[in-house]
Copies of this chain bind each other. A is one copy, B any other.
C-alpha cells in the first residue's frame, strides 16, 4: 500500500496532478456482474463540486466529466480492471512565478522537494486536493458493491469552526448544505464562515462517517483490524489530522464500567466501540470521525523561505475555499466505502470454511 494503490483485493490505483492532463484511476478486483455506467460515478463526482458547500466553497467551475475506459461491458462489470479518467479542463495558464520559488506554509511543497528533488509547482501537483477526484470515482464503484450487500455509507459534518451540529439525522444529511445532519446548523455555519472569510482566514471541522448494515466479521486481526484500516484510509486524506472510532478520544477519559457496551439478546445497549470489537465488525453501525485542519491557503501574508532557503513572505492569491468541508466529506465517504469493499472480499473466504 505504498504510494498510489489502496486496498488489497478491491484495489484503487490513482494518478494525476491538479494541472496535468487529468486525474485517473484503476479499480482492480471488482467482481463481475455489477451494474455500472458513467452516470453512477458522475453523480458522486457532482456532489463533490461546489453548491452544497454553503459559502465555504468557491464557485470555480470544474465540469469533471468521468470516462470509463475499460472493465464494463453491456452495462455490467466484467471482473477486469476498470479504468477511469477525468480530464482537467480548467487549468488556465497561470503565472506560477510567485509560488515556483517559495514553499507555501502548510502545504507539501517543502517535503515534496526534499523527497523528490523536483516538484510540479503548478497548484500543488500531486499533493493538491484535486487528487481526491480519483478517490471519489473509485469510491462510487465501491458503493455499488456495498449496495449488493445492503450496506450504506454516510459522511456528515458534525462540527465546523468549533460550532457543532446538535442533531445527528445522518440520513437527511445527504441533501443539506455542508452535508449537515442538523437542519439548523447550516445557517449558523454560513454566518460564521462569512465572518471568517471577511477576516481572510480559513476553518477546520469534524466529519463523521458511518456505515450501516455492516455484517459481523469484517476485519483481519491483528494488523489488519477494521479500525486500523479506517484510520489509515481517513488519515490518508490530505487535511485530516486525527481519526477516532466510536467513543474515540472520549474513551480515554471514561472508566471501564462506562465504556463497555453491554450485550443483550436484542443487541448491544450502546456503541462506544463504534461497531468494532477486537478489530472485527460487530454488526452495529461502524462510526468514525475525521478531524480536518483549516485550509492552509489564506489571503494573508505569511512567513516562509525560498527554495534556496532565504527568508521571504508570501501572499497566496486566487479564490480558495474557506474550509475543506464539505467537499472532503465525499472523499471520506469514498475512503470508508473502499475500505469496506476490500474487507468484504477478504472476509468471504478467510473467515471460515462455509
Structural contact, B256 and A4, CB atoms closer than 8 A: no
Contacts of A262 in B (CB 8 A): 105, 302-304
**Is B352's CB under 8 angstroms from A254's CB?**
no
Main SS of the interface on chain A? mixed
Q: Are B81 and A111 interface neighbours, CB within 8 A?
A: no
Residue contact A252 to B292, C-beta cutoff 8 Å: yes
Pick from A53-61, A65-73, A166-174 the stretch touching chain B: A65-73
Residues of B within 8 A of A281 (CB): 111
Identify A351's interface contact among B31, B70, B125, B352, CB under 8 A: B31
Chain A interface category by residue count: 35 or more
A157 CB, nearest partner CB in chain B, Å: 11
* A110/B277 contact (C-beta < 8 A), A251-B241, A260-B302 known: yes
- Pick from B78, B245, B293, B310: contact of A125, CB below 8 A: B78
> Is A131 among interface residues, defined by CB-CB distance under 8 A?
yes
Complex-state Cα separation, A277 to B274, whole angstroms:
29
- State whether A296 touches B260 (Cβ < 8 A): yes
Q: Which of A43-51, A180-188, A216-224 participates in binding chain B? A: A216-224
Question: Is the CB–CB distance between B280 and A111 below 8 Å?
Answer: yes
Bound CA–CA A297/B223 (angstroms): 23
| A242, CB-defined interface residue at 8 Å | yes
Q: Which residues of B contact A283 (CB under 8 A)?
A: 114
Contact pattern, A 176-210, Cβ under 8 Å of B = 1, otherwise 0: 00000000000000000000100001111110000
Q: Is the CB of A148 within 8 A of B353?
A: yes
Contacts A1-B224, A26-B4, A256-B295: A70 and B349 contacting too (C-beta < 8 A)?
A: no
- The answer to whether B29 touches A278, judged by C-beta atoms less than 8 angstroms apart, is no
Closest to A323 in B: B256
Q: Is the CB of B80 within 8 A of A17?
A: yes
